[in-house]
Amino acid sequence: MRIDILTCLPKLLESPFRESILKRAQDKQLVTVQIHDLRDYTTDAHRTTDDYAFGGGAGMVMMIEPIDRCIQALKAQRTYDEIIYMSPDGELLTQSVANQLSLKEHLILICGHYKGVDERVREHLVTREVSIGDYVLSGGELAAAVLSDAVIRLLPGVLSDESSALTDSFQDGLVAPAVYTRPAEYRGWQVPPVLLSGNPAKIEAWRHENSLDRTKKRRPGLIKED
Ligand code: 6GU
C-alpha cells in the first residue's frame, strides 16, 4: 500500500509515522507513506496556500491550485483508489471504513486547515470525505494520522499473529475483553482465576462472555438488535 498525505503543515505529521508499528510497517515495506508540503506546489514567490474567502467573512480558505498540482503530479505516477478529504463533516471513520480502505493499493489524504478548502476541491478532485469524530480539530493532520494508523495496522504482516487485528475491539462488533499480566495478585487485587487455569476452552469462553458483558455496559449501541 502507498499513502500520500497533502498538508501545509508537514512537520505535524512526521513523528506519528516514525515510531512503533507505523515505523515498522514502513521498514518492512508493507506501506509507503509520503508526506507532501503543499507549499512546494505553489507558483508565487510567497508560496501561498490560502487566501481570503470570496464574499468575505472570517477565516482563510485553502486554494485549489497547489492541491490540484500535487494531485496531478501524483496521478501521473500511479492510479489512486481513493482521494480522501479529511473533514469534520465527512463520513465517520469506523472499523468498517478502515477495513475497506486497508484493501486499497493507493490512497491520497488531503488535510484541510483554516476555514477549509475551496469547495471545488471537494466537488471535482475528491472521491471520499472522512471525519474521525464529532468534534473539530485545528486541521486534518491528526485525523489523517489516525486514519493511517487504523488502516496500516490491518495490512497483512504488520501485526504479529498474537496481536492480530482480528482480535481487536470492534472487529467482531464487540469491545475487547479485559486483559491482565503478572503479578496474579497486587495489593490484594486478584486476576480472574480462570485465566490462570491453563484451560484454553474455559479461557476462550470467559473472554467471549467478558466481551459481551463489557459491550452491553460500555457500548450498548454496538449490539445489533434483531
Ligand atoms: Cl478529518 N478534520 C478536522 N479539522 N476536524 C475533525 C476531523 C477532521 N474529524 C473530526 N474532527
User: What tens-digit pLDDT sequence spans the chain (226 residues)?
Assistant: 999 999 999 999 999 999 999 999 999 999 999 999 999 999 999 999 999 999 999 899 999 999 999 999 999 999 999 999 999 999 999 999 999 999 999 999 999 987 899 999 999 999 999 999 999 999 999 999 999 999 999 999 999 876 677 777 787 889 999 999 999 999 999 999 999 999 999 999 999 999 999 999 999 988 765 4
Q: Is the CB of 132 under 6 A from ligand 1?
A: yes
- Taking the C-alpha atoms of residue 90 and residue 92, their distance in angstroms, rounded to an integer, is 6
Look at the pTM and tell me if it is higher than 0.85: yes
Best residue for ligand 1 mutational test, from 86, 117, 130 (most atoms within 8 Å of Cβ): 86
Ligand 1 atom, smallest distance to 147 CA:
1
Helix (H) or strand (E) holding 27: helix 20-27
- 157 contact partners, CB below 8 Å, separation of at least 6: 28, 30
Q: Which of 132, 141, 147 to mutate to test the pocket of ligand 1 (most atoms within 8 A of CB)?
A: 132
pLDDT at position 187: 98
CB of 86 closer than 6 angstroms to any ligand 1 atom: yes
pLDDT of residue 171: 76
Give the model's pLDDT for residue 224: 63
Per-residue cell: 153: 495496522
Q: Is any ligand 1 atom within 6 A of the Cβ of residue 54? A: no
* Under 8 Å between Cβ of 206 and 180: no
Residue 140 Cβ inside 6 Å of ligand 1? The answer reads yes
pLDDT number for residue 154: 96
Q: Is 211 helix (H, G, I), strand (E, B) or coil?
A: helix
Residue 133 alpha carbon, nearest atom of ligand 1: 10
Can you tell me the distance from the alpha carbon of 74 to that of 149, in angstroms, rounded to the nearest whole number?
Answer: 22
Rounded Cα distance, 163 and 89, in Å: 33
Rounded Cα–Cα distance for residues 156 and 60 (Å): 41
In the chain the domains, ranked by start, together with CATH numbers, are 2-152 (3.40.1280.10), 170-222 (1.10.1270.20)
**116 CA to middle of ligand 1, Å?**
10
Which numbered atom of ligand 1 lies nearest the CA of 93? Answer: 9
> Is the CB of 210 within 6 Å of ligand 1?
no
Bin 162: left if φ > 0, else alpha if -120 < ψ < 50, else beta. alpha
Atom of ligand 1 nearest to the CA of 112: 4
Beta-carbon contacts of residue 20 (< 8 Å; ≥ 6 apart): none
Taking the CA of residue 140 as reference, the ligand 1 atom at the shortest distance is 2
Strand 60-62 with 50-52, pairing? antiparallel
| β-pair partners for 85 | 110, 129
Q: Say yes or no: CB of residue 88 within 6 Å of ligand 1.
A: yes
**How many residues are there in the chain?**
226
